[in-house]
Amino acid sequence: MADDTDWKIMISFLDFEKPIAELEARIAELRATADGSDLDIESEIDKLAKKSAGMLETTYAKLSPWQKTQVARHPQRPHFVDYLRLIFTDFVALAGDRTYGEDAAIIGGLATLDGRKVMVIGHEKGHDTATRIKHNFGMAKPEGYRKAIRLMEMASKFGLPVVTLVDTAGAFPGVEAEERGQSEAIARSTEACLALGVPMVAVIVGEGGSGGAVAIAAANTVLMLEHSVYSVISPEGASSILWRTPDKAADAATAMKVTAQDLLGLKVIDGIVPEPIGGAHRDPTATARALADAVGRELDALGRLSGADLIRQREERFLAIGSL
């Protein structure tokens, strides 16, 4: 994998970043011709770089819900394996549901987060063709959720807090997933979250897609990265069902209120983890650090509650949603 400092250079731009991409291309062109002796070119590069940085900042300060959806799905956005590498140490991967198989769409295991021993579980989408296929694009099957249940129960047994990183378009829609009880697996995984006698913190790091996300996100504290999204159905899905056209995804994203900022307002989540200017993919290291600090703070606060209080707090948290 490329070093994080190279990342910036190879960044792939989103549609709405086109003016920034054009500026960056112009800067790269000038850099290629300049040898450092032409002060006019140097000052022009400097000027354009400042302009580009300014545009990036203003663009990201007012992303629309649909633009945020695209940022949340950016192929270079840090994924579970990146967080594992950047902020967790001594990871011991645990595999399999003991019933059917090992589903790499959900990764889990024992890990240490800034000195805290935890059980970490999350979706992994993969970053190139081979890994995307291996991880099934982050779309878990029943065995993935049943592995998550097994690991949560183990965490509860040994007093380890649970940290989940949510990043999925949704649970896998396939024949074999239905045959093996996708619905039951998701329902039981949600139930397992609610039964935990240890602290649980969930972070939506990219896409929080429907039941496949909530199955590992029924936590004491739910956080979202600044440009992540969380919704009951994809904007494309809502567009085709409610508007009966595939072209209204942007409207659907706005109407459904999918952003971290919207969800904090609705009290569905408890906090937002800030991303670097231009999104998590422009600085995975800084993103991961901010995430580790936020999760650590929440774990320490929850650590003061008894097991019974943790269960009660989690129950009250979800019972309150939609109650007058």
Of the two residues 142 and 296, which places its CB atom closer to other proteins in the complex? 142
Of the two residues 80 and 230, which places its CB atom closer to other proteins in the complex? 230
Of the two residues 64 and 183, which places its CB atom closer to other proteins in the complex? 183
Min dist. Cβ of residue 276 to other proteins (A) = 26
Of the two residues 71 and 140, which places its CB atom closer to other proteins in the complex? 140
- Angle between helix axes 307-319 and 182-195 (nearest 10 degrees) is 130
Min dist. Cβ of residue 99 to other proteins (A) = 11
Query: Which amino acid appears at position 164 of this protein?
Result: T
Query: Residue 133 phi/psi, 5° resolution?
Result: -70, -45
Of the two residues 84 and 253, which places its CB atom closer to other proteins in the complex? 253
Of the two residues 13 and 137, which places its CB atom closer to other proteins in the complex? 137
Min dist. Cβ of residue 321 to other proteins (A) = 4
Min dist. Cβ of residue 171 to other proteins (A) = 7
Measured CA to CA, the distance from residue 235 to residue 253 in angstroms comes to 5
Cβ neighbours of residue 173 under 8 Å, at least 6 residues apart?
139
Min dist. Cβ of residue 279 to other proteins (A) = 22
Measured CA to CA, the distance from residue 269 to residue 264 in angstroms comes to 5
Measured CA to CA, the distance from residue 234 to residue 21 in angstroms comes to 27
Measured CA to CA, the distance from residue 106 to residue 121 in angstroms comes to 7
Measured CA to CA, the distance from residue 82 to residue 56 in angstroms comes to 24
Min dist. Cβ of residue 46 to other proteins (A) = 44
Among residues 168, 264, 246, which one has the least CA distance to residue 210? 168
Cα end-to-end distance, the chain, whole Å: 50
Of the two residues 52 and 182, which places its CB atom closer to other proteins in the complex? 182
Distance of CA 108 to the CA centre of its chain: 15
- Angle between helix axes 249-256 and 65-72 (nearest 10 degrees) is 100
Reduced to 3 states (helix: H, G, I; strand: E, B; else coil), residue 74 is coil
Min dist. Cβ of residue 308 to other proteins (A) = 12
Give the residue carrying structure tokens 């939609």: 322
Of the two residues 256 and 294, which places its CB atom closer to other proteins in the complex? 256
Of the two residues 174 and 303, which places its CB atom closer to other proteins in the complex? 174
Q: CA 190, 196, 201 angle in degrees (round to 5)?
A: 75
Q: Tokens at residue 11, please? A: 């960044």
- Identify whether the C-beta of residue 208 lies closer than 8 Å to the C-beta of residue 229: yes
Footprint on this chain of other proteins (rule: CB under 8 A): 171-175, 177-184, 186-188, 190-191, 193-195, 210-211, 214-215, 218, 230-233, 238, 241-244, 248, 251-252, 255-258, 263, 266, 268, 315, 318-319, 321-324
Measured CA to CA, the distance from residue 59 to residue 200 in angstroms comes to 34
Min dist. Cβ of residue 57 to other proteins (A) = 28
Min dist. Cβ of residue 45 to other proteins (A) = 44
